Structure 1
Amino acid sequence: MSSAEHIAKDQAPNDARPPSRLRQLAAASIGNAVEWYDWYAYSFLAVYFAGQVFPQGAGNSLVPLLSTFAVFAVGFFMRPVGGLLMGAIADRRGRRTALTLTILLMGGGSLLVALTPTYGATGLLAPFVLVIARLVQGLSVGGEFAASTTFLVESAGPGRRGLFSSFQYVSTTLGQLLASGTAALLVALLSERQMGQWGWRVPFLIGALLSLLGLWIRRGAQETLPQALDASPEAADRPGLFEALRRYPRQSLLICGITAGGTIAYYTWTTYLPTYAQVNAGFDKGDALTVGTLSLAFFALLQPLGGMLSDRIGRKPLLLGFSLGFAVLVVPLLHLVTDTFASLLLVQCAGMVLLTGYTAVAAAVNAEVFPARVRAAGIGFPYSLTVALFGGTAPYVGTWFKQAGHADLFPWYVAVLCFVSFLVYLTLPETSRRKLEK
């Protein structure tokens, strides 16, 4: 009998059947999609509400956009805190408890963004409210990855951890796709003036409502950590907040190395690339959102294929292919971006094929590093810290390079980080055939 089946039986009522893996997968994925819809709506709509929330710099139209992306990065710096706190809750009280808390926080943050006043009406209160909202969302999303990663991988059957792992980014991408699609639809239906005045608020209101739906779905999930439901004295010995860092320092550093190249490539290609095309090639805003939506749909379809491939040939070949491919090709690919629809679509889809080598297996690789006792917190803090340092700052760094007159340096910045991760991947043992450590 598989470990997942043992866990399910331990947690099912005496007269109930263990939950199906499909149900577990749906509970994690649907809630995760809602969570990431709320998070990504911000980046897709930044160009519309930047001037509403931040004052215009004298003679520089990029100042509000830079300020908005700076707040985007601030939200990322709450992610390590969320990864540590929510990861500890997931290890002490169970994965489902942590997943419930994260989606409640995300919905509240999304509602607060929707209600953010304008700078013209309230002055400094407007950016202050936006910062608070992003801090709450950062806390939520930092814990979401830790809890949902462990939940997905622990719910998988033998030889299926890669496939289940891939749904971390399937659901993340579906949430991002929904955010991009909603933004593109509003851009098509509303004028530029209407989008700037009130249209940008609509997706955040929708996100707050969707969070309630995600909460309801997650209530039907079954816990995958038996110790969370065990009332025996032995189970009362729960892990401390910093136990993963204290007992597994090498593994914590390994998570940072695994993540660095993947996160900069991911946020460059899925979040910043439409804005990069706008500020560097004069690409139309509406067309950029449409390209982003089409390429994200393509990306979501690739994830299960990458996950299944990793279950057959291992995680390491995919990671090496991704990192070396990006290190070599990111500079020429970004230089191919012009103001034509086809150029941006081809560049974005080509990068996403390479990126799948990381995203389809990242959850499985991270979960296979730590034992169950500290798995969520062990993943959550170093992963979220690395994402904050390199992923969350990608839009800001790219826009800053443009403002400084050195836009050509940004692709090299991405290439160097991907090469660093390539060197880390070379040292990794293959974990796809190992049993998940309990």
Structure 2
Amino acid sequence: MSAPQAQVPDAAGGPSLASAPPGAPTEATAPSRRRELSAATVGSIVESFDWNMYAVLAPFFATRLFPGGTTGATLTAYAGFAVGFLARPVGSALIGRLADKRGRRFGLTLSMSVIAAASLLPALVPSREQIGIWAALLMVVARLVQGLAYGGETPTVAAYVTETAPPHRRFLFSGISYGGIIIGSLLAFATVAILDATVGADALADGAWRWGFVAAALIGVAAIWVRRSAPESEEFEREAAVHGSRRPPIRSVFTRHSTACVALFLMSVSTTVSFYFSLVYLPVYAAHAGAADQAAASAFMTVAYAVTLLAMLLAGALADRIGLIPVLRGAALATAVLVVPLLTAMDSGALDYRVVAVLLGLLVAAPAAAVNLLSGLLFPTAVRAVGAGIVSAVAVAGFGGTFPLLAEALTVRGHAVVIPYYVAATAVLGVLGTFVAARVPGFAAASRPIPTEENR
């Protein structure tokens, strides 16, 4: 539950709560804060774990469920992975709208329930030999359902963190909550590694891969239990007390908050491309460039993930001290300036792959840490979840989900040299996005540090 906050007009014409005034007292107890932070963070862990579990297990189940030979089935399985991104904007509109009308806790519990159910389905799908093409179709349906749920999960978490984080540590709380994405990715790779070590690769291909999806469903159930005990956002309750369940139409997100939409879209494109390149595609890029062995490069990513997670916490704490805009603008500008020289040095052998991986992880840490607060502060309470969700989901689907495919297509055609410049160009969009965000009414003030009694 959040402290009393300053009022600004919301989309419905009533009061909305943007940010706590300097030195405002906080009413929430420490146990309440922990429940709120746990409810937000556990969702990021499950989202990342379940989403990546499909990707890392695809080589094992592809030929069992999808048509074609080994190569064709694997490519089709990865196409099924990409389909989930297309469903995210729809999920943002559906679940985000419910979270804005019925409450953050309702949206968080609903999205996690759907995620857990959709995670269990792949474990139960019969093989292609048993039901033919229906096996592949059921897997694609599971990905579509997960995509819908993830589309609502992410913006609802952002709204909840924005409204419940303690005023003086809100950006740190954003970094912790979004850090669950890193933890979930590590857990997904660890689960597959444990299965491989205990049953072996042959058994994994023969059906042991299903246990990975069972694990994904089980941690989803655990997340539902955590979220059911989380308190509702006080800010949402005050909004509901004034306006009830009435909310402005979804189109008002674009007609009344167009500047916020442009700002969030630009910064989301920058963040998602940098994230997918630095933390997902980099080992493949390095292998294509002859800068590292892909297996060794992939194994080192656990170190890069750990460094990125630590840097996210530090970036959140820094934003609490100096403000969000300087941190985001500095990180985007550093990425735009450094990514091409870093990758050129790696390609030529002047810099070791491991050094570059760590440095790129550091660059992506600040925007990743700010994701939840950034999208939450740009929109008023009445349309916070649906507005932030639709805009960011479109950016992720259009640029993040397609990045590995685009990068591979450029490499196959002999244009891999373009990839670093593409990443740098999207980082420039992130810089521009910070200037657009500063023009959103109330955002500049809300993103500034809130002084404590000690430093006022």
Per the normalisation by structure 1, the TM-score is: 0.86
Q: Which amino acid aligns with 1:411?
A: P
Cα deviation, residue 233, structure 1 = 7.9
Q: Give the aligned partner of residue 85 of structure 2.
A: 76
The answer as to whether partners of 2:272 and 2:399 remain within 8 angstroms in 1 is: yes
Would you say 1:246 and 2:255 are equivalent positions? yes
For 1:7-22, list aligned pairs within 5 A. 20-22=32-34
Cα deviation, residue 93, structure 1 = 0.3
Q: Of 270, 275, 280, which aligns to 1:271?
A: 280
Counterparts of 2:380 and 2:300, CA distance in 1 = 41
Distance 1:125 1:272, change over 3 A: farther
Q: Of 172, 182, 192, which aligns to 1:183?
A: 192
Counterparts of 1:193 and 1:406, CA distance in 2 = 37
Distance 1:283 1:53, change over 3 A: farther
Deviates more, 1:312-321 or 1:95-104: 312-321
Q: Give the aligned partner of residue 390 of structure 1.
A: 399
Gaps of 5+ in 1: 8-15
The answer as to whether partners of 2:44 and 2:179 remain within 8 angstroms in 1 is: no
Distance 1:54 1:213, change over 3 A: same
Cα deviation, residue 53, structure 1 = 3.7
Counterparts of 1:328 and 1:49, CA distance in 2 = 41
Q: Give the aligned partner of residue 371 of structure 1.
A: 380
The answer as to whether partners of 1:180 and 1:289 remain within 8 angstroms in 2 is: no
Name the SS of the counterpart of 1:361 in structure 2. helix
Q: Deviations over 1:223-278 (max 9, x none)?
A: 10555588868424234343323322221222111111101111222233344455
Distance 1:116 1:327, change over 3 A: farther
The answer as to whether partners of 2:83 and 2:143 remain within 8 angstroms in 1 is: yes
Would you say 1:318 and 2:333 are equivalent positions? no
Cα deviation, residue 219, structure 1 = 0.5
Would you say 1:39 and 2:51 are equivalent positions? yes
Q: Give the aligned partner of residue 67 of structure 1.
A: 76
Cα deviation, residue 48, structure 1 = 3.6
Distance 1:119 1:326, change over 3 A: farther
Name the SS of the counterpart of 1:368 in structure 2. helix
Q: Which amino acid aligns with 1:44?
A: V
Counterparts of 2:31 and 2:166, CA distance in 1 = 12
The answer as to whether partners of 1:291 and 1:344 remain within 8 angstroms in 2 is: no
Counterparts of 2:404 and 2:325, CA distance in 1 = 29
Counterparts of 1:199 and 1:283, CA distance in 2 = 31
Q: Deviations over 1:60-114 (max 9, x none)?
A: x754444333222210111111111111111100000000011111111211223
Distance 1:317 1:69, change over 3 A: farther
Distance 1:275 1:124, change over 3 A: farther
Cα deviation, residue 124, structure 1 = 2.5
Cα deviation, residue 326, structure 1 = 2.3
The answer as to whether partners of 2:266 and 2:429 remain within 8 angstroms in 1 is: yes
Counterparts of 2:432 and 2:33, CA distance in 1 = 35
Would you say 1:412 and 2:426 are equivalent positions? no
The answer as to whether partners of 1:48 and 1:195 remain within 8 angstroms in 2 is: yes
Q: Deviations over 1:308-365 (max 9, x none)?
A: 1011112122222222222233344445668x9x944333221110001211112212
Counterparts of 1:358 and 1:320, CA distance in 2 = 9
Q: Which amino acid aligns with 2:147?
A: G
Per the normalisation by structure 2, the TM-score is: 0.83
Q: Give the aligned partner of residue 330 of structure 1.
A: 339
Q: Give the aligned partner of residue 447 of structure 2.
A: 432
Counterparts of 2:248 and 2:30, CA distance in 1 = 27
Q: Give the aligned partner of residue 454 of structure 2.
A: none
Q: Give the aligned partner of residue 163 of structure 1.
A: 172
For 1:9-408, list aligned pairs within 5 A. 20-56=32-68, 63-119=72-128, 121-225=130-234, 227-228=236-237, 234-277=243-286, 281=290, 287-334=296-343, 343-408=352-417
Distance 1:101 1:281, change over 3 A: farther
Distance 1:36 1:225, change over 3 A: farther
Distance 1:122 1:282, change over 3 A: farther
Q: Which amino acid aligns with 2:249?
A: G
Counterparts of 1:284 and 1:199, CA distance in 2 = 28
Q: Give the aligned partner of residue 2 of structure 1.
A: 3
Name the SS of the counterpart of 2:247 in structure 1. coil
Deviates more, 1:265-274 or 1:370-379: 265-274
Name the SS of the counterpart of 2:119 in structure 1. helix
Counterparts of 1:36 and 1:115, CA distance in 2 = 21
Q: Deviations over 1:141-173 (max 9, x none)?
A: 111111111111211122222111112321121
Cα RMSD of the aligned pairs, angstroms, is 3.1
Cα deviation, residue 381, structure 1 = 0.5
Counterparts of 1:196 and 1:104, CA distance in 2 = 28
The answer as to whether partners of 2:311 and 2:366 remain within 8 angstroms in 1 is: no
Deviates more, 1:190-199 or 1:25-34: 190-199
Distance 1:190 1:418, change over 3 A: farther
Counterparts of 1:190 and 1:283, CA distance in 2 = 29
Counterparts of 1:366 and 1:290, CA distance in 2 = 33
Counterparts of 2:37 and 2:342, CA distance in 1 = 35
